[in-house]
Structure 1
């Protein structure tokens, strides 16, 4: 018996060992076919009875998983081809699901090589609970007709290159299974109830162009307007009881079409309101027209229509072609010959050729006789509010800019609501008022020093009257931005470290936080701005309360002086729990309904735990306190609710456990995992776990670092480690990192899978010392992490990208503790970088340095020592760490010259540096082949320097230009 038990034990041990041996480090080639569930690729049917989610892969074909929530055995899998963005929808009555199937990866690859026509996509329609599936070939977009869910609307891509902008729309009747086709449809949109379909027709030669309304229950079509014009910009009201549209008519005199406004209401017996500005010479400035660049909309009470207007620009006149006059040509030739014969300076054939060429060039007295061509140039002027580069980036937006205007349907009157002196306008809820703003007076200074000021105005939407509200209003952060109450009659705004409310009707300002025992200032914001506030949660649905945060707790502030503010969460600051934000469970809500349970995301600042708490309605002016529903050593988020039932879901992940969706009820208790994200995860070795490392910086700040253990970690052994950073990131301790070809080459789960520990420390900043701040934070973090026994202090590397790349390039000038460093797109000379351009936006870098990430007081000429002290280039002689640098020639964030400057300085000093440059790439790598290549190279670089693996030739010798093509071909996969 003992022998038998021993044999069983040995067999079990062998099986366990074999199972353990089956897992392997994930290779970069494995990433290509790795399948995962992307964000937002999980959906519940409105009744909560069905669920669907998609799995996709970079170079793999995806699949859609569909099942009844209560019956795992009902699970079915459908192929969806190769896509990055799966497209699937449940009908509102929870009877149908429709999803797209894209071409397979191999089909795409073969088609790309053959340079074939675009491949077609399919749409599948399934009746839930049955095996019925109908497929539609060659489709574009699709949608159900909203609440009614009686029809499926399918866009069919336009065939050919005709002038018409319309294409076919297939309407599939879900109950009868019959189809009908609407031809030449430019736009279509169903109302919320799903009873009516508004659509516009744009056909060849404008034949039949018009605006139409289809009543879906009777299949009857009404022509609302028809003309040789373009109909567009359909926009239903939220209730779906009316819609607005534009009719655009061409006029050869102008560059733009003339806009005509259409409003449709009373759907059963449609009433069409038409406003044509060209016929309103007294009420509408004829230098303007209605703009096609802004969708028109009805007011809530259907008494007014809002739309955009913009100036008309005359078309450029073509110069008439002159007919050739043969007699005059002959005369001109005779004059030329006479001039040449009279020229006594002609002594040789060469002189004669020069004289003829001079006459043929058309120059008369040193000037061209024909019309001169315009030069292509830009004039940069010191008084430009925006740099010319910024103006170029914004050119199309500026050209297409329009001002809000209003048409009073009863009075039949047009009212312009803004002009060039008030560039922005936000129409407030219920359309009683609008909030206007303008920053033109301050734009030059904003672009220079980054300190944000604006003027604000109130616009009465009954009369169009404009009243100044704030002048020179300072906004240290977005939290100070005025935001309307749910009823549109009050504004919450931040000023001087407090929140205030402006009552539009009584014209009174009230400081609503000055009597609180806590501050609303975000003291952890270490940028060069004054008193930035914590972001508020917003207004209650009845506009009687505002919910704000002090960074820990949530406070309910009443608008009535008879009530007192309430700390709804109570224990946040005491227990170091941050009540961060509210989960919005109803996408159609208007404000925070305090009569219902409110779900709040929670985060433990020192523990890194996360979860969900609920706030119940306050009773008798007293808060009942939060109820913690979930509180785990994991990353909890994504709370969602089925639209028409009490079924809830939430997501949960850990650094070594892929994100999964859990099904539950309103209590969030006993969550049941219902997804199989990353189904191949068990085949690979992942990080064994995480550690939270506490440390104190050189300047006395208490911070934390996330330490991710390598796969197959054995206590007592030390491991090669890559240190990665970007300001504060310890909150990512429990975040799953999906293996992938990142645009920066970095994938922490890939490094831990391949035997590395990864340390991610927090960095806080001192003004005028961004580089030294990294030294003061990172080195103590490393010291504390080494004490865990995980890190091999002789095999440590550094990596960061952009701002993290700057910190990497600076750290290696201050310490020799690291054996290798990889810096992506680093800033290397703060002095020269200050005056360069952030080409992606076209703006200058100076505002970034003075009020954002740079954290300097003033420019280099008034703070030279600080800029020089924190610039890697000025300490380059200290570098002893081998450096791999990624910098691309079209980097629109950190200018390519920053990488070149540092590379050349290191090379001049014969320091070990390699710079890789991917042609045409921006700040991060976009092309898949480039992302693959750099991901592999960076790990090879660390493998050599930290693991002692043989160096590939590109590291040890470099690659000559003439052999680069062969080198890249050998490595491609």
Structure 2
């Protein structure tokens, strides 16, 4: 056990101490009159200790940090690195992680550049505070501001070889600032990378490309291996290969370090998202890991697990899920292992795309045999294995079943529920959920979810709320506890009060996101009306962010909805294109050109698309009463977008209300604000869809002088 003392305790002067747990012996391995210690780290065996110390008693801005090392048998910790032994201008970082390799013959730490020092001789009246934004600087000024703290503590990974006369080797550098090591840190090479050459274009592409190099951990000699790779790149566990997914080429690849050779594993094969519908490179389905000694790389396609030879690209499909539309994924039960162990049966999760059921299967790699073990109309958590017993802990849930804890053996032969966290649910009208299918206006087969009240009568007509975002049907069996949500309706809450809830999946056509939503959602609604149990005159719609945008668009095209709530909507894609995502500091350009907003280009390339997809240009066609929530600290969608929508509706005298929770971000985080939002939204929909009395806040508002005093929840007498 190791610890530091500030010296305030009379039993221990300022310093670093090692306590021998077995004997209780306490040893001071470093002492100073005054010191600040950081990154105190013991090796796995406890035989090595490292820490960073600042023993300077002055108030200089440039702190002279020193890296110390102690090992069992040493009397005092020895200084290994200081400002004199580092590259010029660098010093050991107090913020970078210090660690030991698994075999404990290497100690990793970070070099830091000295910070920019303020001129303390200037008085306030002489200091100019101006932001200078430059058109070709790699990072937008707003990004620099948000990353300022991280920039001031940037560190570059280095290693000391403890068994080789404490040789120091720098791995990362300003040219390649980011370093990757294997989990155990014993391998011959490290992987370093930089995104600096591509930071400028990231503002409009939305993706971060990188250059990569491998560095010999013994010598520090580096070799560039990859240029401008967007996607995911890692070292294999043994350090023999660099591997990754190139999102633009939609190809998994390997690079054999020892012979400097590349292999494209999935060229011409579909190992990327088959349902991708935005103007950006599709993501991969991921990797399960490596088989022992980097023999095979396990990759996922949409349904199955494949084993690839990293040098020949020879592939073997291990499961056969595509035939039945079942998705198989490997579950890691031992996070300490670097490899997928072929000597043991693997635990696989199973998801049925057709009915959304799930379960588990066992896979014998040597015999290539799959054994189903558990399946049902539920959603299961990822099991956790007991460290010293063949038992698993997991949860099972459905729309009506709370995710209580369960234990079972490795073959799921029986399950024991060990918690009962939500017994009060039995006293409530909860509801049920089912899949529904229909065809979009442009001929696509679509799926969605329909929630019905518990005592549903198909001969009655029910008010219905439509709530959607993009695609949600895979979450059919997710349990939704009745809590004040931050941005959307709570399904069990509204179902218990006699509402139907419809959540349709949306498939998009690039350049026409608004029209795509219309083509998918509206025929879904009409297909339910045709079943006879939906009150067609009392249908509402609700969504937030991207969902809020789509709702703002829909109510300009149809009067099918009697009331609508749009949270954090974007009514004007032209003005929003030139905005900032204040949460990250990035320009919003990438969102329209390449990602969720799906325009597929700039306003000067596709002006008609921006206009056609912007509800602001058709505000006069809105006849649906609209409730808008948009908060003034929203870092995702500029809140002036919500204001644009509201003041335009107000200008036309159309029924509309605007909620702004002061200081809250994209959605309310404070519980009292969430409760308030859910109360107002329920009162809004109850008034329009169920004929409930109108609340005071909808009739007279809440004047500024009454904010925080009178909420206006009181219901007025019906006229």
| TM-score normalised by the chain length of structure 2 | 0.94
Q: Which residue of 2 aligns with 1:680?
A: 424
Alpha-carbon displacement from aligned partner over 1:316-343 (angstroms, at most 9, x marks no partner): 45449xxxxxxxxxxxxxxxxxxxxxxx
Q: Which residue of 2 aligns with 1:202?
A: 6
Which deviates the most, 585-594 or 898-907? 585-594
Alpha-carbon displacement from aligned partner over 1:898-919 (angstroms, at most 9, x marks no partner): 0110101111111111111111
Match of residue 304, structure 1, among 99, 103, 106: 106
Q: Which residue of 1 aligns with 2:405?
A: 661
Q: Which residue of 2 aligns with 1:442?
A: 198
- Contact in 1 for aligned 2:680/2:713 (Cα 8 Å): no
- Contact in 1 for aligned 2:399/2:477 (Cα 8 Å): yes
Q: 1:238 to 1:584 in 2, by over 3 A?
A: farther
CA distance in 1, matches of 2:712, 2:291: 61
Shift of 1:967: 1.9
Shift of 1:568: 1.3
Match of residue 210, structure 2, among 436, 454, 470: 454
Shift of 1:270: 6.9
Shift of 1:811: 0.9
Find out whether 1:833 has 2:548 as its counterpart.
Answer: no
- Contact in 2 for aligned 1:210/1:225 (Cα 8 Å): yes
SS at match of 2:362: strand
Match of residue 236, structure 2, among 451, 474, 485: 485
Q: How does 1:265-304 map to 2 (within 5 A)?
A: 265-266=71-72, 272-280=77-85, 284-304=86-106
Q: How does 1:708-719 map to 2 (within 5 A)?
A: 708-719=451-462
Which deviates the most, 490-499 or 758-767? 490-499
Q: 1:784 to 1:510 in 2, by over 3 A?
A: same
SS at match of 2:196: coil
CA distance in 2, matches of 1:238, 1:770: 53
CA distance in 2, matches of 1:491, 1:809: 47
Shift of 1:654: 1.0
Shift of 1:238: 4.0
Shift of 1:869: 0.6
Shift of 1:279: 4.3
Find out whether 1:935 has 2:714 as its counterpart.
Answer: no
Which deviates the most, 202-211 or 382-391? 202-211
Shift of 1:795: 1.4
Q: Which residue of 2 aligns with 1:557?
A: 308
SS at match of 1:813: coil
Q: 1:939 to 1:423 in 2, by over 3 A?
A: same
- Contact in 2 for aligned 1:761/1:778 (Cα 8 Å): yes
Match of residue 613, structure 1, among 343, 346, 361: 361
- Contact in 2 for aligned 1:757/1:790 (Cα 8 Å): no
- Contact in 2 for aligned 1:795/1:818 (Cα 8 Å): yes
- Contact in 1 for aligned 2:263/2:311 (Cα 8 Å): no
SS at match of 1:814: coil
Q: Which residue of 1 aligns with 2:717?
A: none
- Contact in 1 for aligned 2:43/2:49 (Cα 8 Å): yes
Q: Which residue of 2 aligns with 1:573?
A: 322
Q: Which residue of 2 aligns with 1:351?
A: none
SS at match of 2:555: helix
| TM-score normalised by the chain length of structure 1 | 0.70
Find out whether 1:907 has 2:650 as its counterpart.
Answer: yes
Q: How does 1:41-80 map to 2 (within 5 A)?
A: none
Alpha-carbon displacement from aligned partner over 1:34-87 (angstroms, at most 9, x marks no partner): xxxxxxxxxxxxxxxxxxxxxxxxxxxxxxxxxxxxxxxxxxxxxxxxxxxxxx
Q: 1:486 to 1:954 in 2, by over 3 A?
A: same
Find out whether 1:262 has 2:68 as its counterpart.
Answer: yes
CA distance in 2, matches of 1:827, 1:865: 17
Q: 1:247 to 1:963 in 2, by over 3 A?
A: closer
CA distance in 2, matches of 1:552, 1:588: 27
Q: How does 1:777-816 map to 2 (within 5 A)?
A: 777-816=520-559
CA distance in 2, matches of 1:938, 1:378: 41
Q: How does 1:45-444 map to 2 (within 5 A)?
A: 197-204=1-8, 208-227=13-32, 228-250=34-56, 252=58, 254-266=60-72, 272-280=77-85, 284-313=86-115, 315-316=117-118, 318-319=120-121, 372-409=125-162, 410-429=164-183, 430-444=186-200
Q: 1:617 to 1:375 in 2, by over 3 A?
A: same
CA distance in 2, matches of 1:891, 1:531: 28
- Contact in 2 for aligned 1:202/1:231 (Cα 8 Å): no
Shift of 1:808: 1.0
Higher Cα radius of gyration: 1
SS at match of 1:658: coil
Alpha-carbon displacement from aligned partner over 1:588-633 (angstroms, at most 9, x marks no partner): 22121122121122111121111112211233xxx22x22211111
- Contact in 2 for aligned 1:720/1:795 (Cα 8 Å): yes
- Contact in 1 for aligned 2:30/2:76 (Cα 8 Å): no
CA distance in 1, matches of 2:333, 2:534: 44
Shift of 1:251: 6.7
Shift of 1:536: 1.8
Find out whether 1:527 has 2:278 as its counterpart.
Answer: yes
Alpha-carbon displacement from aligned partner over 1:194-228 (angstroms, at most 9, x marks no partner): xxx11111234998221111111211111111123
CA distance in 2, matches of 1:485, 1:255: 41
Q: Which residue of 1 aligns with 2:613?
A: 870
CA distance in 1, matches of 2:275, 2:202: 23
Q: How does 1:718-757 map to 2 (within 5 A)?
A: 718-744=461-487, 746-757=489-500
How many equivalent residue pairs? 708
Q: Which residue of 2 aligns with 1:501?
A: 254
Shift of 1:421: 1.4
Q: Which residue of 2 aligns with 1:65?
A: none
CA distance in 2, matches of 1:270, 1:795: 81
Which deviates the most, 205-214 or 521-530? 205-214
Alpha-carbon displacement from aligned partner over 1:227-261 (angstroms, at most 9, x marks no partner): 23222212233454433221123374742422211
Q: Which residue of 2 aligns with 1:592?
A: 340
Alpha-carbon displacement from aligned partner over 1:779-824 (angstroms, at most 9, x marks no partner): 1221233344443222111110111111111111111101110111
Which deviates the most, 917-926 or 533-542? 533-542
Q: How does 1:951-966 map to 2 (within 5 A)?
A: 951-966=694-709
Q: 1:564 to 1:427 in 2, by over 3 A?
A: closer
